Amino acid sequence: MSRTTPLRSLHLRRSVLSVPAVNLRALEKSRSLDCDAVIFDLEDSVSPEKKGQARENLRAFFAGPPLEGKERIIRINSLSSEFGAADLDLVKALLPDAVLLPKVDEPSDVTDVSDLLADADAPEDLRIWAMIETPRGVLNVGAIAGSGRTPGARLDCLVVGLNDLRKETGVLPQPGRTYLVPWLMQVILAVKAYGFDALDSVFNDFQDGEGFDAECRQGRAMGFAGKMLIHPAQIAVANRHFGPSLEEIAEAEAIISAFAAPDARGLNVINANGRMIERLHLVQAEAVVHKARLMSARKPA
């Protein structure tokens, strides 16, 4: 965990379900699902002639009961499109937890929206998430993440979008994502450098449980905080893979206890059961335990 990310800012983002805002049944179902966050999509999953209806659906939905224990994110259309301005006006009115920007190519795509939200006196805790789904976005991902540490910036999370990236590069959708791994790791390096989260891309075939399980394992091993999902059937698997296991929680608690011992005071390296543990492991352990507490505090669906 980067020292620029205090524990209080850590979120559970193991399972982030994308729901088309035009689908009333899916919107209502999202209230009872055990995902950590919901992306209400106004972009790719909504046809041009239904964009207006999708916005009205979200107005009605946000007027209803709140989502318990879940982050709420609205994915808007690009501000350069004919729909983006109306989408952003909706965000200003509804005040979700975050707005997700599609196809972010460069830092100004994020900072421009930060300025627009500030000009509208939107609360500071209305954050920005950025989709990295184009070749330019991958090439500039370090600068994009870095822009989130400038004064007034609202950037909080990067989300990889491989469908568009495959389309623009011609990389085939093969198991293991061999030719995509270098780009995925560029995103991970950028967020770790600046203390943000990154979410792995959607897995399109929600009936392929074995393939989804393997991709979750891979994403967790890479360092992603969680995965963007397209179907409720994927939630439990994502929660299992991206949440700390019982063994990891127990190890983290042991590390915290070891550093809390009187003879460890002021030491940066200690010997615990024959293993050398550095104070940086304490920071990581505290993050694991914090996430475990967030998981325990979640109300059952």
Check residues 1 and 92 and name the one with the higher pLDDT.
92
251-286 pLDDT tens trace: 888 888 888 888 878 888 888 777 888 888 888 888
Alpha-carbon span 148 to 152, nearest angstrom: 8
Residue-averaged pLDDT of the chain: 92
Mean pLDDT of 170-199: 96
47-99 pLDDT tens trace: 999 999 999 999 999 999 988 889 999 999 999 999 999 999 999 999 999 99
Mean pLDDT of 152-179: 95
Alpha-carbon span 182 to 44, nearest angstrom: 26
Contacts of 169 (CB under 8 A, 6+ apart): 135
Task: Give the sign of the dihedral formed by CA 215, CA 220, CA 224, CA 227.
Answer: positive
pTM confidence score: 0.90
Position 128 pLDDT exceeds 70: yes
225-236 pLDDT tens trace: 999 999 999 999
Dihedrals φ, ψ of 40, to 5°? -90, 110
Alpha-carbon span 287 to 67, nearest angstrom: 25
**Which domains, from first to last, does the chain contain?**
7-242 (3.20.20.60), 246-297 (no CATH)
Range of weakest confidence among 44-48, 72-76, 120-124, 243-247: 243-247
Predicted confidence at residue 300, as pLDDT, reads 55
Dihedrals φ, ψ of 10, to 5°? -70, 135
CA of 69: how far to CAs of 38, 243, 300, 301, in Å?
11, 16, 10, 10
The answer to whether 201 touches 187, Cβ cutoff 8 Å, is no
Question: Can you count the helices (H) and strands (E) in the chain?
Answer: 12, 10
Position 301 pLDDT exceeds 70: no
pLDDT-based confidence at residue 9 (cuts at 50, 70, 90): low
Predicted confidence at residue 1, as pLDDT, reads 38
Predicted confidence at residue 287, as pLDDT, reads 85
Position 4 pLDDT exceeds 50: no
Predicted confidence at residue 6, as pLDDT, reads 46
The residues that bridge with 158 in the sheet, in sequence order, are: 130, 198
The residues that bridge with 259 in the sheet, in sequence order, are: none
Predicted confidence at residue 8, as pLDDT, reads 43
Instruction: Look at strands 269-272 and 275-278 and give their pairing.
Output: antiparallel
